Structure 1
Amino acid sequence: MGQGQELIKTRNDPQVEIQERGEIFFFYRPKVNREEVHSADDVQRLYIVLRPESGEKAVEQKQSPDSGKEGAKSGLSSPGSSHSHDNDEDKRLKEHPEGGHGIKEVNIEKEPLLRLIIMGKKALPDPTKKSRPFFGFVEMVTTKINDIRDALQEEEYDTKTRGHRKNPKARAVGEGVYRILRHKYSENRMHTHLVYKLELPPKDAKNEPQGELNIEREGSFIIQIKNPEQGGSRSDFRGVQSKRKAVFPAHLQGRFGNKRFGPDDPTDFLNYEGGEFLLISASDDIEEELGLELKPETEEPNPGCSDLVKMFGPDCVPTAPLFEGTWT
């Protein structure tokens, strides 16, 4: 269905500038050893996948492909197929816990760039509680679609205290278009927004998981990048495995100065594993808030035109939540 289009309506305030356009996908993973999900209580994690396709720059900078999880996965087979391979990856990440480093240029109009994000909570921020921030974490950045596909699969492992454990496959729960933009809300002040609009599930679907996970039909969030060199006791990532401190190149790190957080400008900040950010709910009506109307490629999407299915394959993950709006 592609990145869609946007219509910016002429008005003096607010002023918005599009930094990046692309596709957004939402997934949830059930809790360990739990195959059926009946409510958010049965959910372990909420994932977001961003695929930028155009923007201010055709070429974005990302971490070097031989670093982070992308590098650790090079030459490895799918998770669960070989415990020794999984152990090799875990060992490498323990020895080098920092996030992705180095620089590679990617032309996002010609090759895929995919960001796998884990939310610190099992939901998006509640649009009725606009002052409460939620943390997010860049788990993986890659140009290989199979890396994301593999990360969403079932995983099996053994523990000393609880024996054999199984992480079920993730479930697809939303597909749409997104924008990252600058919002100049006064003469000398600016922040950045992540806005999205769903194409799937269809409007007449039940929307049971979407409702509990706060995945509205459209949403706007102020996004702030955390300075990895500014410490702090606050952590909303308890339980997230292999959390790694981001290593930004000097030209990005220098933008923070002495501040703990900064705007997502440029969007290259999201192209380094270990990067943490805040999402603060701004509105569930993008047009009213920002004078921006997001338009998907098709107004009546169906399973046959799902980019998620085309990209990852029809058997990658269960899709009942995506097409029917039901838990599974």
Structure 2
Amino acid sequence: MPPKKHTSTSKEENKAASNKEVKDQPEDAVEDKEDVGSKRKPDEKTEEPPQKKEKTSAVGEDIVKDKSESVDESKKAHSLEKGHIYFFYRPKVDADEVGSIDDVQKAYMILKPYWSSDAKRSPTLIVLGKKKLPQVEQHARYWGFVGKTSSNIDDVVGALKESTYSTKTKGERTIQAARPMGEGVYTITSHNGHSHLAYILTLPEEPTKVQDAFNIEKQASIVLNVKNPKKSSPPGSGLSGNEKAEFPDKLQKAFSDRRFVAMETTDFLNYDYCELVMIGATEDLDKELGKTAKDLEKMEEKDEDHVDYVGVDKVVFKDLHLEADQNPVAPLKEWK
């Protein structure tokens, strides 16, 4: 009888059949089978299939990118207004000479806009509470208000000129003219839910002891909040009596029932007695405001050319229609 043939498949044939079966399956099925069925040695590393890894990586990058763009957009500073800024102080009536801030009666900040996101903005004189700007390093909070706003710059700077008044006991007395102590450029921006007044000084080139006394930096950013005139003021601050801003309904509604709001529109500054809370923010404009800070730097460069053309001793008076003999320019560098 011939020998009986073996019907069992050899190991080589089994392996070949197995490989054929695997090749005929979809690629995903192969990956699943290898992940679930294979046993690996403890020190054996397994890499994720390239196609799957690339897909996961691409999706992840899209998510991160979209999130990053969203955050940057929400924090982006948007310019509301641009213009020239001026700082003045007025000596006390009895002060023959001014040697420190103790001899100063009032300090002013004048904004002369040349561009605004609102339809119309007028030059504005702001009276500084505590006779100075808030300290940036300490994030101090100081109060101020719009003393005068008008489309006619002569009306605005009228408060800076010399004047006289009479008293029963001392007769006629003279209120000395205000002295300029700084000139530069500014922008008001809406930024991350609040508003900033950012400025860069052109004159003087670097702050002196005069500017230091009023916390006027070479450049700085100050947070601006507007007070609701229908709400009471904290003790020791704010205007009283009839000295309250009368905003139109569209501006008054912005407060709702709040005492303060961010300045989302500079139209607030078009109204006398608009009360402000100013908070020192930072000297690092690039970090705080990004591209808006770069725009402000370009404005300052143009202002330097303007100052050089008109003259250091003349530019403030020419811009504001003031008389140099009444408003001495010396405080730009020293007390006067």
TM-score (norm 2): 0.70
Counterpart Cα distance in 2 of 1:287 and 1:307: 28
Which structure 2 residues correspond to residues 266-305 of structure 1 after superposition, within 5 A? 266-291=265-290, 292-293=293-294, 294-295=296-297, 296=300, 297-299=302-304, 301-302=307-308, 304=311
Higher strand share: 1
Q: Hey, what's the Cα distance between the residues in 2 that align with 1:263 and 1:307?
A: 33
Gaps of 5+ in 2: 1-68
- CA distance in 1 between partners of 2:146 and 2:223 (Å): 17
Task: State the Cα distance separating 1:196 from its structure 2 match.
Answer: 0.5
Alignment-derived partner of residue 97 in structure 2: 36
Counterpart check, 1:248 vs 2:258 = no
Pick the aligned partner of 1:199 from 190, 197, 202.
202
User: Where does residue 308 of structure 1 map in the other structure?
Assistant: 316
- Tell me what 2:11 maps to: none
- Give, in whole Å, the separation in 1 of the partners of 2:331 and 2:75: 35
Whose relative contact order is higher, 1 or 2, with alpha carbons under 8 Å and at least 6 apart? 1
Give the drift of 1:28.
0.3
Letter in 1 for 2:166: D
- Partners of 2:234 and 2:274 in 1: how far apart? 17
Asked whether 1:138 is paired with 2:146, we answer: yes
Q: Helix, strand or coil: the match of 2:157?
A: helix
Aligned to 1:170: 178
Alignment check: 8 A CA contact 1:33 1:168 kept: no
Residues 158-212 of structure 1 deviation map (CA, whole Å, 9 limit, x = unaligned): 223554332111000000111110111xxxxx00111111111123xx7121011
SS in structure 2 of the partner of residue 121 of structure 1: helix
How far has the Cα of 1:288 moved from its partner? 2.4
- The separation in 2 between residues aligned to 1:243 and 1:320, in whole angstroms, is 37
Indicate the residue corresponding to 1:4 in structure 2.
Answer: none
The CA distance in 2 between the partners of 1:18 and 1:152, in whole Å, is 29
TM superposition score normalised by structure 1: 0.72
Distance change >3 Å, CA 256–CA 197, structure 1 → 2: same
CA distance in 2, matches of 1:53, 1:44: 30
> Distance between the aligned counterparts of 2:234 and 2:132, measured in 1?
23
Aligned length: 255
Q: Say which of 46, 61, 85 aligns to 1:24.
A: 85
CA–CA distance in 1 between the matches of 2:158 and 2:117? 31
Q: Distance in 2 between matches of 1:212 and 1:269?
A: 29
| Separation in 2, partners of 1:218, 1:19 | 19
Choose from 115, 124, 138 the match for 2:124: 115
CA distance in 2, matches of 1:273, 1:298: 28
Deviations 1:253-295 (A, max 9, x none): 0000000000112110011001101000001221122222322
The 1:243/1:216 distance shift into structure 2, 3 A limit, reads farther
Provide, for residues 87-144 of structure 1, a one-character-per-residue CA deviation record: whole Å limited to 9, x for no partner: xxxxxxxxxxxxxxxxxxxxx5xxxx211110111111111211x3101110111111
Q: Secondary structure at the match of 2:131?
A: coil
Q: Which residue identity does 1:320 align to in structure 2?
A: A
Deviation at 1:318, TM superposition (A): 0.9
- Deviates further, 289-298 or 171-180: 289-298
- Give the Cα separation in 2 of the matches to 1:17 and 1:307: 29
Higher normalized helix content (fraction of residues): 2
For the aligned residues, what is the CA RMSD?
Answer: 2.3
Q: In the TM superposition, what whole-angstrom CA distance separates every residue of 1:62-99 from its partner, at most 9, and x where no partner exists?
A: xxxxxxxxxxxxxxxxxxxxxxxxxxxxxxxxxxxxxx
Change (3 A) 1:118 1:263: same
| In 2, Cα distance between equivalents of 1:258 and 1:237 | 18
Name stretches of at least 5 consecutive residues in structure 1 with no aligned partner. Answer: 1-9, 61-107, 185-189
Is the CA contact 1:243–1:274 (under 8 Å) kept in the aligned structure 2? no
Distance 1:317 1:243, change over 3 A: farther
Q: Distance in 2 between matches of 1:56 and 1:226?
A: 21
Separation (CA, whole Å) in 1 of partners of 2:260 and 2:205 = 36
Tell whether 2:109 aligns with 1:48.
yes
Task: Give the residue type in structure 1 aligned to 2:112.
Answer: R
Q: 1:121 to 1:237 in 2, by over 3 A?
A: farther
Q: Report the CA distance shift for 1:283/1:255 in structure 2 as closer, same or farther (over 3 A).
A: same
Residue 319 of structure 1 aligns with an amino acid whose one-letter code is V
Q: Answer whether contact 1:34 1:168 (CA < 8 A) is retained.
A: no
8 Å contact kept, 2:138–2:280? yes
The answer on whether the counterparts of 2:137 and 2:281 sit within 8 Å (CA) in structure 1 is: no
The within-5 A match list for 1:75-86 is none
